[in-house]
Each structure stands twice: as C-alpha cells, then as structure tokens.
Amino acid sequence: MTPTSLARALALLVPAALLGGAYVSQYYGGLAPCEMCWWQRYPHMAAIPLALIAILLARAPGVSRLATALAAVAIGVSGAIGLFHAGVEYGWWEGLTACSTSAGGASPADMLSSIMAAPITRCDVAPWSLFGVSLAGYNGILSTGAAIAILALLARKPASKGGWA
C-alpha cells in the first residue's frame, strides 16, 4: 500500500469510526450530545465524502490528493474543537455560556413541550471518561493525530518511480 493510498484509507476510516462511536454512545449509551459535541461531528461529516471522492478519483492524482488533504484538514478541525471542548470540561477555560437543546413541533405549544422534555446537556461537564479523558478529549487526540498522520503520508514521496500516487 502506498503512502497516499494509506492516507486515503485513514481519511475515510477515522471519521467514520469516530462518528460511529459518537452515535453509539448517544443512541445506545444514553449520552446526549451538547452543542460542542455536535460541532465536533460536522467536520467528520465533511471528511467522509471528501475521502470517498479521493478514493473514487484515485486515478486522478492531483484531485485525489487535494480531496485527501481537505479531509485531513476537516479531521484536524474536529480535533481542535475536541481539544477546546475538553479544556472546557476540565475547567481550563470558559466555553459556551448558554445551554442549547433541539426543539421540534408545529405549534408553539408543541415546541415548548419538546423543549421541556428534552435533556439539558451541559458542555462543561464530561458525561463519561476513561483514564480521566473525556470523549471530547479522545476525539481531540485521535482526530489531531490522524490529521497529522494523513498530511505526513501525503508529504512522502512514493517509492515507485514516476509522480505522486
């Protein structure tokens, strides 16, 4: 496997795995996401189609490398948000000053009922941690590391003669 094809694979697998973990913890673990948790998901949602484009257009090296690099940047953005969020959870700095929730319904009464029934999820409290690291912290570490690894792989020259793979 060439460095570029490994970079493409990581650009797809890392955000897919992290998003999958986030949804499993939400729907099966009962951990309702706060606003900053959602912010971390959006760049991963952007990275997946970029990585798919990179894989599908592997025979167009310039486009494939650009899409892979953009996916890496998106993954890195999620990591930066995760690190910021972890800092808020650990009390290192202040995060959001208002709570948020999603409300649905056609009428104002339905929306109020939905708001009142929705769980309030604070961004400054880690609902789960392992070895003292929260989910936001793990996302920050894994996403930042993956983004650096992908960009480093893209920067390597291939072993084969010729251009970039």
pTM of the model as a whole: 0.78
Residue 12 and residue 52 in contact, taking contact as beta carbons nearer than 8 Å: yes
Segment 145-160, tens digit of pLDDT: 999 999 999 998 766 5
Structural domain tally of the chain? 1
φ, ψ dihedrals at 129, nearest 5°:
-150, 155
pLDDT of residue 111: 73
- Note down the domain range covering 118: 3-155
Distances (CA, A) of 161 to 1, 6, 87: 15, 18, 46
**Can you give the pLDDT at residue 97?**
54
Task: State whether residue 158 is helix, strand or coil.
Answer: coil
Instruction: Write the CB contacts of 163 (distance below 8 Å, at least 6 apart in sequence).
Output: 61
Residue 84 lies in a domain: yes
Domain assignment of residue 163, yes or no: no
Please indicate, yes or no, if residue 162 is contained in any of the structural domains.
Answer: no
Residue 123 lies in a domain: yes
Domain assignment present for 164? no
- Among candidate residues 3, 7, 16, the one with its CA nearest the CA of residue 55: 7
For 89-148, the pLDDT digits (tens) are 888 877 765 555 555 556 787 777 776 666 667 667 667 666 876 888 899 999 999 999
Which residues partner with 129 through β-bridges? 134
SS3 (DSSP) at 89: helix
In a domain, 112, yes or no: yes
Residue 165 located in a structural domain: no
> Cβ neighbours of residue 3 under 8 Å, at least 6 residues apart?
153, 154, 156, 158, 165
Q: In this structure, is residue 160 part of a structural domain?
A: no
Query: pLDDT per residue over 14-42, tens digit each?
Result: 999 999 999 998 898 888 888 888 899 99
Q: According to the model, what pLDDT value does residue 7 have?
A: 96
What does the pLDDT read at residue 160?
A: 56
